[in-house]
Every structure is written in C-alpha cells, then in structure tokens.
Amino acid sequence: MSCEEIAVCAERLRENLCLYFEDDELECDAFCKDKTIKRFFRNVNSQLLVVRPDLNVAAFEDVTDQEVKSGSGMYFDIHCYKTTAPSAGMPVAFSVQVEDKSYYMCCEKEHGKMVVRFREGEVPKDIPGESNIIFFKKTFTSCSSKAFKFEYSLEQGMFLAFEEEDSLRKLILKKLPREDEVDETTKFVTSHNERHNL
C-alpha cells in the first residue's frame, strides 16, 4: 500500500468479531525480515535437532563432539520477521547449512497430512502474504522463558514437535486441542553453542 490515504468503510462485523471491508486495495498480512540469529535446538531429552536432506529427515539425535564442531545440519538460522498485522507471537522462519548448501524449513501436505520438509534454497527477505515457512515463536510456559514452542502460521493450534518413529525422534507438526496445553514434545530450547542454553 502506498503512503497516500485510502478511505475504507467497514462492510460488516461477522460472528468471529473480524471486520470485513469492501475495498480491494487493502493489503493482506506481509512479513519483512528484521534480523537473523544462529542457534542450536534441543528437545527435552537434551538431543540436538539435525537435518539430513539426503534422507529427507530432521530428527533429534545424540551427537558426538566431532559432529557438533562441524555444525553441519545442526546450527540453524532463525530469521525474525516484522509483520504488518498483529500476530500470535514473533514470526520466524528457519534455515540450516548442510555442507555447502542452504535449506529452509517449510510445511507441505502429503497424503492428507501436514509434514515438515527442508527444501534447498534461501529464506526470502520479504513475504507479501501468507507463507508455509512462517511460524510464531511463543514461550513454552509463562514460567519457562528459555523454552519455546513454534506454531505454524497457516494453521492455528499446529505446532512443531517431535515424535518417536523407527528409533528416531522426528520433527513433525502436531495439532494441540488447546494452545495452553503443556505438551513436552513441543518444547524447544535454543542455545548459542552445543553446551549452553540462552
């Protein structure tokens, strides 16, 4: 939208208490990259999140000091975005380096189920509308300020989580019946290095 004034009149207030407008020139939500921070992700079992694009999997694993030093597939960029609309937490996107390639996290529907995928490429600086790469970062509980949960921006109540499958703790999307539900599988702790939490 340009800086010039646009006159709009509310058309109606629906049951969900959202205003709807007649003017088609209004923009939808948009995201603009603000800053990027680098972090490791740990689950409640103190395992690190590792992305393995060759196997099409991201899972929490016990890793050796040697693997951690390489940081390949473990040291995430958390891209923080500003938004044009009030949001349910800080909008973020994730990317990771594996060897000499960059991969971004996204959510896709496969066989009727939402799954987490890592696709080769860069996270965009600006996102003009809704996106399958945006999550809302929220504190895990009010008394746990160093632990977070990440809600998928396109589906309220759907959070990043881990699930045991074939001896792996795979990164998944999990629907919670209530946002205030405490589910340890959705708890993530970030750290600057492999040993110290924020």
* pLDDT bucket at 193, cuts 50 / 70 / 90: low
* Residue 176 Ramachandran class (φ > 0 left, ψ -120 to 50 alpha, else beta): beta
What whole-number distance in Å separates Cα of residue 79 and Cα of residue 38?
9
Does residue 113 form part of some domain? yes
pTM confidence score: 0.78
176 within domain boundaries: yes
Count of domains forming the chain: 1
Residue type, position 186, single letter = T
Q: Identify which of 9, 30, 13, 33 has the alpha carbon closest to the alpha carbon of residue 21.
A: 9
Domain residues for 133?
A: 28-191
154 falls within a domain: yes
Region 128-156: mean pLDDT is: 89
Cα-flanking dihedrals φ and ψ of residue 68, to 5°? Answer: -65, -40
How many CB atoms are closer than 10 A to CB 78? Answer: 21
Kindly state the percentage of the chain with pLDDT values over 90: 49
The reply to whether 178 falls in a domain is: yes
Residue 12 lies in a domain: no
Phi, psi of 73 (to 5 degrees): 80, 5
Does residue 21 form part of some domain?
Answer: no
Q: How far apart, in whole angstroms, are the C-alpha atoms of residue 187 and residue 45?
A: 10
Q: What is the CATH number of the domain that holds 156?
A: 2.80.10.50
Contact 84, 92 (CB under 8 A): no
Q: What is the pLDDT of residues 119-141, one digit of tens each?
A: 999 999 888 888 999 999 998 88
Give the distance, in angstroms, between the CA of residue 162 and the centroid of all CA atoms in the same chain.
Answer: 14
For 92-103, the pLDDT digits (tens) are: 999 999 999 999
Mean pLDDT of the chain: 81
Give tens-digit pLDDT for 11-51.
Answer: 444 444 444 444 444 444 668 878 899 999 988 888 999 99
Cα–Cα distance, 141 to 148 (Å, whole number): 8
Residue type (1 letter), 44: V
- Nearest-5° Cα angle at 155, 187 to 183: 25
The answer to the question of residue 133 being in a domain is yes
List Cβ neighbours of 45 (8 Å cut-off, separation of 6 or more): 60, 169
Residue 43 lies in a domain: yes
In order of 48, 108, 135, 151, 175, the CA distances from 179 in angstroms are 25, 22, 14, 9, 9
